[in-house]
Chain A
């Protein structure tokens, strides 16, 4: 089956630092990846759509300079949380859309804690 990985699975950082989260499709090519944010006991909120070779499309209210997205290849998208603050602490989940059939697969998530 199609597998999407995220790295790291858990990260703790100090306020003001930047954190990079990787999302990889391990056995398929993905022209599009999606980044979601999930607060405890809440639903997933789409942050942005990442397209290979082009700029990401951000949802309303999401700061593009705060959450930098790079989709450098058909198997890798990265989300960088710049100058992180405690309110950025959350569970970040990516999904990848398989080029072959448009099927979408989710990664296991990254737990970010900003102290």
Chain B
């Protein structure tokens, strides 16, 4: 069975500081991993995804994530936080290429950005 754990339900950073949102997964087959962002009362927007190939994945809005198989992790980072980054972030895993299969979501991490 697959599962996702996001460490820290709430992360607060200052504007311009490094953003680090943690995600660990459990999967018995090669995983496909995703990060989504959700703004209040809205749906989900894909930030980035890992399927195969390069383990460092770059996404939109300056975010990137690195797939580390040995650590079963897929942490999300951004070098410099912006006020507009304040939102809820979800890590997800699937066992089907791209997002064709069911997505299993982590609990979510709320990111706050202080001026």
Q: Do A and B come from one complex?
A: yes
Contacts from A to B (Cβ < 8 Å):
4, 6, 32, 34, 41-44, 46, 49, 91, 93, 95, 97, 101-104, 106-109, 111
Give chain B's interface residue range (CB within 8 Å of chain A).
Answer: 20 to 34
The one of A4, A95, A103 that contacts B98, using a Cβ cutoff of 8 Å: A103
B63 to chain A, nearest CB (A): 17
- Nearest neighbor of A46 in chain B, beta-carbon distance: B102
Given contacts A43-B108, A44-B90, are A102 and B100 in contact (CB under 8 A)?
A: yes
Task: Assess whether B99 is in contact with A42, with CB atoms less than 8 Å apart.
Answer: no
Nearest-Cβ distance from residue B17 to partner chain A, whole angstroms: 24
Instruction: Decide if B42 is an interface residue (CB 8 Å cutoff).
Output: yes
**CB-CB < 8 A to B45: which residues of A?**
106
Q: Is B20 an interface residue (CB 8 A)?
A: no
State the CA gap A103–B36 with chains docked (Å): 14
The SS class assigned to the B binding surface is: loop
| Residue B106 lies at the interface, judged by CB distance under 8 Å to chain A | yes
Q: Which residue of B lies closest to A44 (CB)?
A: B105
Alpha-carbon gap, A109 to B42, bound state (A): 6
CB-defined contacts of A49 to chain B, threshold 8 Å: 102
Residues of B within 8 A of A101 (CB): 98
B residues less than 8 Å from A43 (CB atoms): 90, 105-108
**Cα distance A101–B42 when bound, in Å?**
24
Q: How far is the CB of B79 from chain A (nearest CB, A)?
A: 26
If the complex has contacts A42-B107, A43-B108, are A106 and B102 also in contact, measured as CB distance less than 8 A?
no
